[in-house]
A and B are shown apart, each in its own frame.
Chain A
Amino acid sequence: MTVGLVRSKDLKAGVRRSAAAWPIGTLRYLVAAIFTGFCLFPFYVIVTTALKTETAIFAWPPVWNFKPTLQSFYNALFVFGGRSAIFYLINSVIISAVSTFVAVVLGAMAAYGFARFSFAGKRHLAFWILSTRFAPPVAFIVPIYLMVQKAGMLDSHIALILIYTAMNLSLVIWILRGFFSEIPIEIEEAALVDGYSRLQIFWRVALPLVRPGIVSTAILSAIFSWNEFLYAMVLTQSKAATLPVYLAGFSNSMGLAWGEYMAVGTMAVLPILIFTFALQKHLVRGLTFGAVK
């Protein structure tokens, strides 16, 4: 005989598991599946449109069965417009990678400083850094455009790298600060007694211990840099233009080459698809600044 009782996990959701639970379970599956489908459907549209022929793209009713073709990808990469998408892709990779690297390095250092050293005004400084997360690019674009212009850095990689670094610093600092302060301080004190200097401890003890935090903040930073549109749009034209700039350029001649758009869109989304699963454990903590773990 099994005495049927409520499990508290289920109770959290206000739902009881009992003999009569199966319709609720099924209903859950149904709702969850529909929602997941809703979330995934546009991805399906992007990829299939990129693989369709032009006729299929404009077909009414939409064509579900079609013979995939790589023509759109080919066009986007090698034929279309003035420059190949590869050029923009490379710019995006360079700028995201370098800005992420710099943001993580500077951010990790500062985060460690915030977690482990006390100094006057620390709290205010930390919360100011947090609030930079909310800086709306559009409100900063006017002064930053003029600053970059005066520095003669319009259409340069370095300008975007710096701006993206600043954009991602608050994320890196806040997340890693949380990770660092979770390390028992005695571990670092032990290293101090063992003969390591503070910076050596940072490098050899603290950093290895927050590796999961580093990985997830790096991925998130890279995604944010990769996705950023407005600064790139305003500050670059050709030499340092990134993928979003390329996509935005399309939309000026809108209505024509959907297949090629979607092919570029696919390329813009693909890296994220790959990273997403690596991220899922720390995503919420990252996106809410450690407020929700």
Chain B
Amino acid sequence: MAEVQLSGVRKRFGLVEALRGIDLAIPDSAYVCLLGPSGCGKTTLLRCVAGLETVDAGQIRIGSQNVEALEPFARNVGLAFQNYALYPHLDVRGNLSFPLRAPRRRTEFGDGEIEQRVKSIATLLQIDALLDKPIVALSGGQKQRVALGRALVRNPTVLLLDEPVTHLDARLRHEMRVELKLLQRRVGTTTIHVTHDQLEAQALGDLIVVMRDGLIEQVGTPDELCTRPATSFVASFVGDPPMSLLTARLGQEAGVLSLRVGAAQLRPGERLGRLLDGLCDQDVEIAVPAHHIALGHAGDEQTIAARVQAHEWVGRELQIVVALNGSPVPVRLRTQQRLALRIGDEIAIRLNLGSAHAFDSKTGRRLQSSAD
């Protein structure tokens, strides 16, 4: 068990800069999720920690040791892959004992100890009944358990998980998530989990690292991401459904602030008004949580005309995706009303800006008042 520290880590593949200077400190025993869209650099970062990629610049420390010049095996990390990457020519027992039988560790483990370790890890993961099965005979969930077992059997200092549940179907994915989290609680190994699914990251992560284009956007707990997103990107990426992002122009008429979104004028309210102080005649980005958007009546206050782009049932709620005039980004809201909508219908939505976030339209960073 150890903390992991990265400073100034850079990695380039040809013309593509995959990592553009990553500084990150992962506390001992934490479950950390690297979250971001595909191409953001999260997998590269994980592979750099594992030693499967060399870094171009920067340092990686695991515990007190600098590891960036070490071969993967010398870093004592456990790695589970998205496609499991089990050895197809070995059975479950062979897969679990493979790391212990590496020639480099010949002196480290006796046959008895190997057997005993394999047994105990198999029991922990409830695959002890499968030990003599060939890999091809396993289901997806079982394969994932074996892969986890193989990663854990050596008691690694850091457990690295690359999209570990992505290949499973939805139901199994949820079950495996729960198991992963409970397992990590029990063994206490510092864990880095790469995912593109923000709900998965929120469900599992003590800390979430949101990445984009090779840089870290925000590091925070799930609650922090939802309540204090550092950038408009984080705001539009996190939540179920994610917040809706509006581009608005701040104006002032007779001392009253107003936000112009397309043809509509909205009053920012006191809190938001304070945040936006001094940005008159500038564009700002406003993020509104879905539960603060409701269906409204055309012409009412704080209401914007919108056109339906999609309507879908999510549980008992109807999720409606609408396009606003003059705003390229769709707005999502949910309602318990039973509506017969058609795509292209004109509706009106009412925005409650009471807990909206505002972002600088150039830097994308959240505007905060001193009170925040």
A258 CB → nearest B CB, Å: 50
B171 close to chain A: CB less than 8 A:
no
Cβ A193 vs Cβ B72 within 8 A? yes
| Total cross-chain contacts (CB, 8 A) | 64
Chain A interface: which of B60-68, B85-93, B261-269, B362-370?
Answer: B85-93
Chain A interface: which of B73-81, B285-293, B326-334?
Answer: B73-81
Inside 8 A of B105's CB, which chain A residues have their CB? 195
Cβ A193 vs Cβ B89 within 8 A? no
B147 CB → nearest A CB, Å: 8
Q: How long is the Cα–Cα vector from A192 to B73 in the complex, in angstroms?
A: 6
Q: Which of A126-166 contact B (CB under 8 A)?
A: none
Chain A interface: which of B95-103, B182-190, B353-361?
Answer: B95-103
Q: How long is the Cα–Cα vector from A191 to B86 in the complex, in angstroms?
A: 9
Number of interface residues, chain A, beta carbon within 8 A: 16
Instruction: Name the one of B79, B89, B103, B154 contacting A190, with C-beta atoms under 8 angstroms.
Output: B79
Inside 8 A of A192's CB, which chain B residues have their CB? 51-52, 71-73
Chain B interface: which of A26-34, A84-92, A181-189, A269-277?
Answer: A181-189
Inside 8 A of A193's CB, which chain B residues have their CB? 50-52, 72-73, 77-79
Inside 8 A of B81's CB, which chain A residues have their CB? 186, 189-190
Cβ A187 vs Cβ B85 within 8 A? yes
B152 CB → nearest A CB, Å: 12
Q: How long is the Cα–Cα vector from A184 to B102 in the complex, in angstroms?
A: 20
A209 close to chain B: CB less than 8 A:
yes
Cβ B104 vs Cβ A195 within 8 A? yes
Q: How long is the Cα–Cα vector from A197 to B274 in the complex, in angstroms?
A: 61
Q: How long is the Cα–Cα vector from A197 to B78 in the complex, in angstroms?
A: 16
Q: How long is the Cα–Cα vector from A137 to B256 in the complex, in angstroms?
A: 93
Q: How long is the Cα–Cα vector from A193 to B74 in the complex, in angstroms?
A: 8
Most buried by B among A189, A190, A193, A197: A193
Inside 8 A of B78's CB, which chain A residues have their CB? 193
Cβ B88 vs Cβ A209 within 8 A? yes
Q: Which of B141-159 contact A (CB under 8 A)?
A: 150, 154
B83 close to chain A: CB less than 8 A:
yes
Inside 8 A of A205's CB, which chain B residues have their CB? 87
A208 close to chain B: CB less than 8 A:
yes
Q: Which of B102-127 contact A (CB under 8 A)?
A: 102-105
Instruction: Name the one of A186, A196, A208, A209 contacting B73, with C-beta atoms under 8 angstroms.
Output: A196
Residue of B nearest to A195 (CB): B102
B14 CB → nearest A CB, Å: 11
Inside 8 A of B73's CB, which chain A residues have their CB? 192-197
Q: Which of B242-301 contact A (CB under 8 A)?
A: none
Residue of B nearest to A183 (CB): B88
Instruction: Name the one of A187, A196, A209 contacting B103, with C-beta atoms under 8 angstroms.
Output: A196
Inside 8 A of A209's CB, which chain B residues have their CB? 88-89
Cβ B85 vs Cβ A184 within 8 A? yes
Cβ B102 vs Cβ A196 within 8 A? yes
Instruction: Name the one of B52, B85, B89 contacting A208, with C-beta atoms under 8 angstroms.
Output: B89
Inside 8 A of A194's CB, which chain B residues have their CB? 73, 98-99, 102, 150, 154
B45 CB → nearest A CB, Å: 15
Residue of B nearest to A198 (CB): B71
Instruction: Name the one of B79, B86, B98 contacting A189, with C-beta atoms under 8 angstroms.
Output: B79
Q: How long is the Cα–Cα vector from A194 to B73 in the complex, in angstroms?
A: 6
Cβ B98 vs Cβ A191 within 8 A? yes
Inside 8 A of B87's CB, which chain A residues have their CB? 187, 190-191, 205
A251 close to chain B: CB less than 8 A:
no
Q: How long is the Cα–Cα vector from A257 to B135 in the complex, in angstroms?
A: 59
Inside 8 A of A191's CB, which chain B residues have their CB? 87, 98
Q: How long is the Cα–Cα vector from A28 to B59 in the complex, in angstroms?
A: 70
B160 CB → nearest A CB, Å: 8
A200 close to chain B: CB less than 8 A:
yes
Cβ B99 vs Cβ A195 within 8 A? yes
Q: How long is the Cα–Cα vector from A194 to B78 in the complex, in angstroms?
A: 8
B157 CB → nearest A CB, Å: 12
B286 CB → nearest A CB, Å: 43
Inside 8 A of B99's CB, which chain A residues have their CB? 194-195
B82 CB → nearest A CB, Å: 8
Inside 8 A of A200's CB, which chain B residues have their CB? 102-103
Residue of A nearest to B147 (CB): A190
Q: Which of A191-216 contact B (CB under 8 A)?
A: 191-197, 200, 205, 208-209
Q: How long is the Cα–Cα vector from A197 to B52 in the complex, in angstroms?
A: 12
Q: How long is the Cα–Cα vector from A190 to B98 in the complex, in angstroms?
A: 10
A152 CB → nearest B CB, Å: 43
Q: How long is the Cα–Cα vector from A191 to B51 in the complex, in angstroms?
A: 12
Residue of B nearest to A194 (CB): B99
Inside 8 A of B154's CB, which chain A residues have their CB? 194-195
Cβ B85 vs Cβ A189 within 8 A? yes
Inside 8 A of A197's CB, which chain B residues have their CB? 71, 73, 103-104
Inside 8 A of A196's CB, which chain B residues have their CB? 73, 102-104
Residue of A nearest to B153 (CB): A194
Residue of A nearest to B88 (CB): A209
Instruction: Name the one of B72, B77, B86 contacting A187, with C-beta atoms under 8 angstroms.
Output: B86
Inside 8 A of A184's CB, which chain B residues have their CB? 83, 85
Q: How long is the Cα–Cα vector from A184 to B83 in the complex, in angstroms?
A: 9
Q: How long is the Cα–Cα vector from A260 to B73 in the complex, in angstroms?
A: 63
Inside 8 A of B50's CB, which chain A residues have their CB? 189, 193
Most buried by B among A187, A189, A195, A209: A195
Would you mind naming 27 contact pairs between A and B with Cβ atoms under 8 Å apart? A184-B83, A187-B85, A187-B87, A187-B88, A189-B50, A189-B52, A190-B85, A191-B98, A192-B52, A193-B50, A193-B52, A193-B72, A193-B77, A193-B78, A194-B73, A194-B102, A194-B154, A195-B99, A195-B104, A195-B154, A196-B103, A196-B104, A197-B73, A197-B104, A200-B103, A205-B87, A209-B89
Interface residue ranges, A against B (CB under 8 Å): 184, 186-187, 189-197, 200, 205, 208-209
A-B CB proximity, top 8 nearest: A195-B102, A186-B85, A194-B99, A195-B73, A186-B81, A190-B85, A208-B89, A187-B85
